Amino acid sequence: MRRMMFCLFIVGAITFLSSPAANAQMQIYGAWHCGNDACTWASVRNMTDFDTKNHWLIDRGDGSGLPSVNLVILSFVNPLRLLNKTNDAQTSQGVPIGMTQDVVNYFKAKNIRVMLSIGGITYVSDWNTALDTNPTQLGINAAELAHRLGVGIEIDYEESSNPRLAAVQSFINAYRSYVYPVDGKGTQYDATGANPAARLTIDLAAGDRWLIGLCQKATSTWLTTSSPVLDYANAMVPNKQPSTSGAQSNWQEHIDGKPTYNPPIPPLAPAKFTGSLYIVTGNRPAPECTNFSASLENSTGSYVQTVVPHGAGTTSGMLGYMFWAAECQGTRTICTTPPNTCEGGVGVGAKTYNIPIPMPPLRQN
């Protein structure tokens, strides 16, 4: 009995002396950007006006001159127009005319990485048509676009009932095998992140209970730590701003997987995804935009930095946060423009978490 008590004492002492899991450095802290017309980017922007509306993104307002984010994702490119390289009043070579080199360079001049998102919930049908028509050519066109603007590409394919998984694989294969004919640089997987066009990511649901087929394929095939094909995933925002526990529960589903599903969804390494939060809710800015101390990026920060792997990966902590969405995401919500800019929430969070500018090479395991 005394020996058992002694052993328990030693175990307890070891547990007491062990330090808690160290906080992982958040590496991604970004915002989707919808432009001034509900994510269509259908007009060329005056860059003076663009700066007035979006200056908070490149300057967190604390006197440091540092930006509030290290990633901006311009949203959205219509996949069918990109496949067809459509030219019309709102589109050039399949890309919204507002997604210009000037806009890209506005952010890159402040060491903010830029990506373009293909899809979104509005373009699910167009994704399906493009994938049914010629997914390989769509991948090539996306790679050409990425090289032309010096950006990465995000796959936002929100088909929940019948995702064309084989066609998405063809899109990815074409994107990764593409070789730019001018400078000879391909878009093969680049763990360093040095080649902007090599950054290829995907959006998954907030947890594993929606976009189930896509979650299963992406987690089992494209987002492994041993032979990744995609750089990482973004766990999207749910249908409304979650509570602290709700957000963490959603993200934990990715880390745990769903072994009872058929086929099962395997665990996802924390180092292979970000969590997402709203910065605008209805007709007022959310605390996530204006008040860091009352925000979810504050209350969930410890979880995001310390959550441990549960079957995939070896390092603790998710990659960071994505925020939906900068400027004007819709006609029924306010915009993150003066006087409703987000230095007090997103910007303070960038300082609090010492977000690296520019984005460093990402953890791979």
Q: Per the domain annotation, does 117 fall within a domain? A: yes
For position 242, what pLDDT does the model report?
A: 97
The model's pTM: 0.92
Question: By the 8 A CB rule, do 77 and 35 touch?
Answer: no
pLDDT in tens, 301-350: 999 999 999 999 999 999 999 999 999 998 888 999 999 999 999 999 99
Distance CA 115, CA 98 (A): 14
How far are the Cα atoms of 60, 203, 238, 345 from residue 285, in angstroms, in the given order? Answer: 17, 24, 17, 10
Question: By the 8 A CB rule, do 293 and 339 touch?
Answer: no
Q: Per the domain annotation, does 363 fall within a domain? A: no
pLDDT in tens, 125-167: 999 999 999 999 999 999 999 999 999 999 999 999 999 999 9
Range of the domain at 86: 23-352
Q: Which two tokens stand for residue 216?
A: 């299963």
Distance CA 184, CA 274 (A): 32
Q: Per the domain annotation, does 362 fall within a domain? A: no
Average pLDDT, the chain: 92
Q: Per the domain annotation, does 156 fall within a domain? A: yes
Q: Per the domain annotation, does 358 fall within a domain? A: no
User: How many domains in the chain?
Assistant: 1
Q: Per the domain annotation, does 12 fall within a domain? A: no
Residue 162: CB atoms within 10 A of its CB come to 8
For position 232, what pLDDT does the model report?
A: 98
Helix axes 47-58, 101-108, angle to 10 degrees: 30
Residue with token string 């390092």: 315
Phi, psi (degrees; rounded to nearest 5) at 291:
-145, 90
pLDDT in tens, 163-186: 999 999 999 999 999 865 555 556
Question: By the 8 A CB rule, do 320 and 29 touch?
Answer: yes
**Dihedral, CA atoms, 246, 252, 253, 256, nearest 10 degrees?**
-160
Q: Per the domain annotation, does 51 fall within a domain? A: yes
Q: Residue 65 belongs to a domain with what CATH number? A: 3.20.20.80
Which run of H or E residues covers position 105? helix 101-108
Q: Per the domain annotation, does 359 fall within a domain? A: no
